[in-house]
Amino acid sequence: MTTSKLMIVAAMLLGLAACDKKTSKTSKAGATPPAPTVAADGTRSIPVLVKKVGYDPDKIAAKPGEKLKLVFTRVEDTECGAQVKIAGGKLIDLPLGQPVEIPLTAPASGKVEFICGMDMMTGVIVVD
């Protein structure tokens, strides 16, 4: 192999190694969300992980009128999960690796949907 070909191959290998390191630092594909907690005022805090495959959990049970705080954390670098909106509300940015708290009150009955900014990933709060 000529010197110029060796340099090209070496540059490509270095580029691939850099990509692998970046992926391993920002990807938590096997991560599971922590357990929900309840504050002194009765608000239930529910962690929701945002992954390339969707929300985890993507279905949340709630009681009528229950105060909730959804804590979205985007654990994988995905454009689709970079924003969320709840029940057709405004889009909320979800920075990679930073929890974003969204308070809401469950309705008397029915469902409340949450969806990514591209309308591809969906989740639901079901009132029972």
Burial class of residue 85 in the structure, from the number of CB atoms within 10 Å of its CB (0-12 exposed, 13-18 middle, 19+ buried): middle
pTM for the model stands at 0.74
Give residue 18's domain range. 1-27
Domain-embedded: residue 44 = yes
Report which of 66, 39, 50 is spatially closest to residue 120, judged by C-alpha positions: 50
pLDDT tens for residues 20-47?
333 333 445 567 888 888 899 999 999 9
Quote the percentage of the chain above a pLDDT of 70. 77
Say yes or no: 51 and 107 in one domain: yes
The answer to the question of residue 56 being in a domain is yes
Close Cβ partners of 125 (under 8 Å, ≥ 6 residues apart): 60, 61, 62, 68, 104, 106, 111, 112, 113, 114
Is residue 9 domain-shared with residue 56, that is, in the same domain? Answer: no
pLDDT range class, residue 68, cuts 50, 70, 90: very high
How far apart (Å, rounded) are the C-alpha atoms in residues 84 and 123?
Answer: 10
Residues 50 and 72 in one domain: yes
Total domain count for the chain? 2
Residues 73, 96 within the same domain: yes
Q: Are residues 9 and 64 in the same domain?
A: no
**Tokens representing residue 64 in the block:** 């009528």
